[in-house]
């Protein structure tokens, strides 16, 4: 290969790599989140709209990254190899394929299946890390109430619903903080700005 051809092919490869990375809005632990995937999820959860200002997209991306962090944690715990999980995913895919009239196009189908796979994993890991701790440990709940009693106008039993919600939020915040220190998160702000509409 001549020097010119070698430089040219290297330049083309660099350009292709740049274009590919420019189409990714973020990466979580080395796994890319494409702009298409992100906007598909955003549109689905915002009544079909994709016209959003940068501030709204950035806030939603933060939530989506938290979701992806939980999925990675679930996989690191082996929850994706669980027999019941696999059976649930296979059942959903079978049900989706039997609805041939409403079967989406390939890319959308991939997004739907991926969302379901990851959604179940996120639910399962959240159950272990947050929800079961709130439900199963009355002493921890009372301790949380005592430490934060100034926030509540009523006694523990009367404030219990709010105490549970607040304690769950605290556990969630601590968990997300630990996940962000455990896994690398990179955001492509240039790509996010391109997607934003004033």
Q: In the predicted model, is pLDDT for residue 14 greater than 50?
A: no
CATH architecture for residues 25-195: Orthogonal Bundle (1.10)
Domain boundaries, the chain: 25-195
pLDDT in tens, 128-184: 999 988 877 788 899 999 999 999 988 999 999 999 999 999 999 999 999 999 999
Distance (Å, whole) CA 168 – CA 81: 27
Strands (DSSP E) found in the chain:
24-28, 31-34, 185-187
Cβ atoms of 79 and 55 closer than 8 Å: no
For residues 61-88, average pLDDT: 97
What region, left, alpha or beta, does residue 32 occupy, with left being phi > 0 and alpha being psi -120 to 50 degrees? beta
**Among 99, 108, 90, CA closest to 36:** 108
Cα(132)–Cα(175) distance, integer angstroms: 14
- pTM here is 0.82
Q: How far apart, in whole angstroms, are the C-alpha atoms of residue 182 and residue 76?
A: 12
Longest dimension (CA), the chain: 81
């Amino acid at each position: 290969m001549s020097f010119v051809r070698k430089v040219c092919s290297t330049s083309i490869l660099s350009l292709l790599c740049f274009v590919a990375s420019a189409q990714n809005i973020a990466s979580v632990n080395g796994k890319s989140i494409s702009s298409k995937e992100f906007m598909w999820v955003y549109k689905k959860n915002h009544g079909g709209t994709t016209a959003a200002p940068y501030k709204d997209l950035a806030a939603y991306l933060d939530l989506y990254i938290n979701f992806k962090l939980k999925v990675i944690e679930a996989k690191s715990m082996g929850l994706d190899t669980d027999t019941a999980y696999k059976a649930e995913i296979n059942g959903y895919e079978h049900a989706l394929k039997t609805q041939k009239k409403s079967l989406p196009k390939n890319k959308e189908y991939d997004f739907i299946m991926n969302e379901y796979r990851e959604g179940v994993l996120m639910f399962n890991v959240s159950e272990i890390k947050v929800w079961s701790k709130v439900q199963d440990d009355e002493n921890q709940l009372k301790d949380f109430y005592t430490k934060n009693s100034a926030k509540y106008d009523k006694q523990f039993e009367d404030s219990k619903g709010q105490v549970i919600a607040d304690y769950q939020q605290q556990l969630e915040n601590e968990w997300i903080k630990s996940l962000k220190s455990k896994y690398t998160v990179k955001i492509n702000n240039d790509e996010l700005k391109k997607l934003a509409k004033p």
